[in-house]
Amino acid sequence: TNFDLVEIAKSKEPIDKVDVWLGKENELDVYVDQDIYKIIKKAQKRLLKITTKYLGPVEAPIEKDQVIGKLRVVYDENLLGEYELLASKSIKKVNIFTRLLKSLNYLIWGDV
């Protein structure tokens, strides 16, 4: 009775969005391929931290189910688990003219 089963993530459901560089879309949903649950003390739930870690923005082209980063589950400064974040769909690279314009825009304004 002092512990709770906490749902961290459901399999195949979007967890977060990541930025995409030079892709036909600017954002991409990421997910894990398994259900993630942890047993946590009821009074200590605030010590549970879930973070997504990736080097971004992720450069296109991106294939569906490509590993994009990691989902980290930390409880009271202890790493409970690290899971692969997968791309929810494929994203193609934009054409050469759009790449050139986006690159110039980035150099001048710093926008991604």
Span 4-29, pLDDT tens digits: 999 999 999 999 999 998 899 989 99
Report, in this order, helix, strand and coil percent for the chain, each rounded to 5: 20, 50, 35
Around Cβ 81, how many Cβ atoms within 10 Å? Answer: 14
When pLDDT is cut at 50, 70 and 90, the band that residue 111 belongs to is: low
Span 31-79, pLDDT tens digits: 999 999 999 988 888 899 999 999 878 999 999 999 999 999 999 889 9
Gap between the Cα atoms of 30 and 50, Å rounded: 14
